[in-house]
Amino acid sequence: MALVNKIRERSGIAITIIAVALILFIVGGDLLGARGLFGSKTQKVGEIAGNTILAQDFQKKLDQARVEYEAQSGQSANDQALAQLREKVWNDLLVDYAYEKEFDALGLTLSDAEKTDMFFGKYIDPSVRQSFTDPQTGIFDKNRVIQQRNQIMKLPAGSIQQVGWQAFVRDIQRSHLMNRYVNLIRLSTYVTSAEAKRDYEAQTAKADVKYVYVPFYSIADSTVKVTDSELKDFLASHKDEYKGANTRSLDYVAFGVAPSKADSTALKNTLTQVAKDLAKTPNDSSFARMNSDVPHPLYWSLRDMDDQLKEAVKTFFPGQIAGPYRTDNTYTVYKYGGTKRDSLYTVKASHILIRAANQSDTAKASARLRAENILKQLKSGADFAAMAAQNGQDGTAQRGGDLGYFQNNGSMVKPFETAVFGFNGTGLLPNLVETDFGFHIIKVTEAKNNLLYRIVAVSKQLGPSQATRDEVYRKADAFAAANKSLAEIEAAVKKDKSIVLLKANRIPEGSTNLNMMQNAGTVVRWAFDDKTDVGDVSQVFEVNDAYIVAALTGKTSEEDVKVDDFRDELTARVRNDLKADQILKKLGGLANLSSLEQVAQKYGAGALVETVNDISMANGLLTSAGADPTALGKAFGLKPGQKSAPFKGEGGVFILQTLKKADAPAIADYTQYKTAAQLSELQRSGYFANEAIRENAKVKDYRAKYF
């Protein structure tokens, strides 16, 4: 990531940040006072390990994170970026208050040598590598990291560039410490020989079984009544299985805002006038800067043009007004002013990079031989893009080796640049090009060209006008005013088929989405407001290109789990228990019959008799019942020829008979099974450690009330 260059390009952002800081300083008393958003000192966004996170403190950290983000990225934080920053600040607080205690207790630190190595040494951090990899070539050069760091360190202390760099360094070091902690937890996992033996036997021992199976679905749901009292009792006895969560459910109507016919006509008239004015203005470049919705260069190389313009420019003549040309919802008028020669050449090329496995002569010779073989196939007519996808060893392979456009300005390593710009025309270079990165097979797809086209471009975007927005808002506001309850909203929707009632169920606290609609945080915050009750209808919210009217239809709380929070799941389980009682009672009187076929015949409709062979405890599947763990356990718990009493399984009731069993043969070495079990534990241990730390920290998150 070219931090310095991006910061220079976006220097206006720095001015904006300073201005905002001054405004906050001047009017901070009003914004943060007793009547402001964060006026009360008791307002808190959460609790972590006994530490109260006040709204004011969280906002300060968020403001700092925003400055750091904009310094690193060179662009203003939009709504999506702010949502990610809020999550990052919260996670940083979790580390500060919950995780660092664990780090300190274990003595986990990073040495100065490690801190240096992850940026400039042999083991570069993936984030550093990604940020400083050339997107065109897929090549990482740590010298760029060093140069960037040195340039930033020469700037005044506390400059926005230094703030961005320091945040970048801090986040990477913190990530390494977190990874070290998780890896330490993983390395502490252990699988005993007894556990490995158990896994081996569960996978290897086999059994043949025969059973009567009466699935729950054989009894119609409508014949089994479930009472609220039964649901409450079941929930009380299984409360550990049903963890509460703070969620809200909404029904809502979205009034979409789209350009109207009048907006299209107005844009057409505007573009007609733009074309006339552009033709006669004495200073067309200034006119474009003031009137274009999208910035454009004044002199264009072919790499600056989309395919549409690249084709059209062939027919342009000096002074010509062309267009409008459409790209998505953007319409552009061009004025052509001729061409000139640039001091730099531009070329478009593709390559296939073959790297040596290491720096030994043998490895290099092997890589060269492979590259020469590929070059030979290409000379014989093989498809370059396909060969690049199969053989390329850098980031360009996935796009057929395409490097895009580049210039002879040092953006490529010297041998590569010399070979490409020394080649005339297009096509496959006849010889390999060796660089520090390996052996390159290169194809020039567009010949070098230093021609620049003077094209003044004015772009206008088709969007809804303020009048259109006002009209849609008026409809949404009238709808909200006329319908003050969910029942009234439902009636209005039935009456007007053009209005669609949408549902968003179980929205988690802190979410910013309504189904697939993003940036809907204002609606979610309204739903979570303490003053909003079930049945309340909201005011009109603007979300993206729509106006939303919502009604709160449900609440759940992590502190107070109710039957309604899990009514469907609880009803299904209680109903199956009641069905099981019916089936068990009926089968109980038949269990002594001599054959399972007789049991099924006497039971009647719904009873199945099935036989399965060579099932294992770990991977056994019963024909109709699937992988029922209770039934599989019974199968391997019975002696050959022994028949079970009726018992309840996952999806129905069984009487099971084990016909034959083959124990797992004894083996001397369980290493294979021990390794597999250990790998499974390793994959889960990091997650479980994180969950344990957060649970122990008694984390309470109230951010949804503020953001």
Do 590 and 602 meet the contact criterion of CB atoms below 8 Å apart? yes
Phi, psi of 629, rounded to the nearest 5 degrees = -65, -35
For the 259-463 domain, the top CATH level (class) is: alpha beta
The pLDDT of residue 170: 86
Pick the range with the lowest mean pLDDT from 123-137, 442-456, 622-636, 668-682: 123-137
| Residue 644 DSSP class | P
Strand order in the sheet with 647-648: 608-615, 206-215, 652-662, 647-648
The pLDDT of residue 497: 87
Residue 434 above 60 pLDDT? Answer: yes
* CA count, 13 A, side-chain hemisphere, 474: 6
Percent of the chain residues topping a pLDDT of 70: 93
Residue 26 above 50 pLDDT? Answer: no
| Residue 385 DSSP class | H
Domains 206-243+566-662 and 259-463 share a fold: yes
Q: What secondary structure does DSSP assign to 26-87, as a single string?
A: HHHHHHHSTTSTT--TT-EEEEETTEEEEHHHHHHHHHHHHHHHHHHHSS---HHHHHHHHH
Q: What secondary structure does DSSP assign to 496-560, as a single string?
A: -TT--EEEEEEEETT---BTTB-S-HHHHHHHHSTT--TT-B---EEETTEEEEEEEEEEE-SSS
Residue 6 above 50 pLDDT? Answer: no
Using H for helix, E for strand and C for coil, what is the string for 551-616?
EEEEEECCCCCCHHHHHHHHHHHHHHHHHHHHHHHHHHCCCCCCCHHHHHHHHCCCCEEEEEEEEC
> Residue 178: which H helix or E strand, with range?
helix 160-187
Mean of pLDDT values over 59-77: 85
The pLDDT of residue 615: 96
pLDDT digits (tens, 9 = 90+) for 116-149: 888 888 888 888 888 887 766 667 777 888 888 8
Domain locations in the chain?
3-187, 206-243+566-662, 259-463, 465-555
| Residue 402 pLDDT class (50, 70, 90 cuts) | very high
Q: Considering only CA atoms, which of 513, 530, 531 is closest in space to residue 522?
A: 513
Q: How far apart are CA 124 and CA 130, in angstroms?
A: 10
The pLDDT of residue 151: 87
Residue 702 above 90 pLDDT? Answer: no
Mean of pLDDT values over 467-482: 95
Q: How far apart are CA 557 and CA 242, in angstroms?
A: 12
Highest mean pLDDT: which of 171-185, 506-520, 605-619? 605-619
Residue 69 above 90 pLDDT? Answer: no
Residue 25 above 50 pLDDT? Answer: no
Mean of pLDDT values over 69-95: 85
Phi, psi of 51, rounded to the nearest 5 degrees = -95, 125
Mean of pLDDT values over 211-236: 96
Mean of pLDDT values over 422-435: 93
Pick the range with the lowest mean pLDDT from 268-277, 506-515, 594-603: 506-515
Residues 6+ apart with CB under 8 A from 142: 119, 120, 124, 132
pLDDT digits (tens, 9 = 90+) for 164-213: 788 888 888 888 888 888 888 877 888 999 999 999 999 999 999 999 99
CA distances from 387 to 369, 399, 437, 636 (A): 16, 11, 19, 54
Cα angle vertex 606, ends 602, 610, to 5°? 85
Do 519 and 80 meet the contact criterion of CB atoms below 8 Å apart? yes
| Residue 42 pLDDT class (50, 70, 90 cuts) | low
The pLDDT of residue 607: 96
Please state which CATH number belongs to domain 206-243+566-662. Answer: 3.10.50
Q: Using omega within 30 degrees of 0 as the cis cutoff, is the peptide bond preceding 297 cis?
A: no
| Residue 660 pLDDT class (50, 70, 90 cuts) | very high
Do 68 and 85 meet the contact criterion of CB atoms below 8 Å apart? no
The pLDDT of residue 431: 93
Residue 16 above 50 pLDDT? Answer: no
Helix/strand/coil for 664: coil
Q: Considering only CA atoms, which of 649, 650, 642 is closest in space to residue 591?
A: 642
Q: Considering only CA atoms, which of 572, 553, 552 is closest in space to residue 563?
A: 572
Full-model pTM = 0.59
Do 561 and 235 meet the contact criterion of CB atoms below 8 Å apart? yes
Mean of pLDDT values over 291-301: 91
Residue 396 above 60 pLDDT? Answer: yes
Kindly report the number of other CB atoms within 10 A of residue 362's CB atom.
10
Q: What is the mean pLDDT of the chain?
A: 87
Q: How far apart are CA 538 and CA 456, in angstroms?
A: 48
Mean of pLDDT values over 106-122: 87
Residue 40 above 50 pLDDT? Answer: no
Residue 10 above 70 pLDDT? Answer: no
Pick the range with the lowest mean pLDDT from 85-94, 152-161, 586-595, 642-651: 152-161
Residue 683 above 70 pLDDT? Answer: yes
Q: How far apart are CA 44 and CA 536, in angstroms?
A: 25
Q: Any long-range contacts for 52-59 (C-beta under 8 Å, 24+ apart)?
A: 53/93, 55/706, 56/32, 58/89, 58/93, 58/703, 58/706
Block residue for tokens 């450690």:
689
Q: How far apart are CA 439 and CA 669, in angstroms?
A: 46
Mean of pLDDT values over 299-305: 86
The pLDDT of residue 129: 82
Q: How far apart are CA 276 and CA 281, in angstroms?
A: 9
Q: What secondary structure does DSSP assign to 87-121, as a single string?
A: HHHHHHHHIIIIIHHHHHHHT----HHHHHHHHHS
Cα angle vertex 288, ends 282, 292, to 5°? 155
The pLDDT of residue 606: 94
Radius of gyration of the chain, Cα coordinates, nearest whole angstrom: 35
